[in-house]
Amino acid sequence: MAWKMNLNPNFKEDVMKAAEGKLNSAVAPAKAVLVTDKEALQMLERGEKLSNAWLGNLSQNGLIEVRDVTSKPDERELLFASITEKGRKVLRG
């Protein structure tokens, strides 16, 4: 049985970069998935947790009520409290 020897000193790094590129291209479409306000409200109705960014956005739009439960000075933490009347209209529409 003959063995082929690869003389490229960067073979491992080249293979890793190629694999990383394929992985990133496969994952990129998943990162691009956009969720609408209505879908986010539906997630809250089902009891799913949303990020602080989403909770803040929905709260600023007047769709939900949140409680600030920040315990660390450098990290804001929000807790979902309820869906507002405006949020209910979004869910119905």
- Residue 39 DSSP one-character state: H
Question: Mean pLDDT across the chain, nearest whole number?
Answer: 80
- Note the pLDDT tens digit of each residue in 27-55: 445 444 568 999 999 999 999 999 999 99
Torsion sign, CA atoms 8, 10, 12, 17: negative
Which is more confidently placed, 51 or 21?
A: 51
Q: Where are the domains of the chain?
A: 37-92
pTM: 0.61
- End-to-end CA separation in angstroms for the chain: 69
Amino acid 76 reads: R
Alpha-carbon gap, residue 13 to 11, rounded angstroms: 6
* Helices vs strands, H then E, count in the chain: 4, 2
Residue 80 pairs with which residues in a beta bridge?
66
- Find which of 2-6, 14-18, 42-46 is predicted with most confidence, using mean pLDDT: 42-46
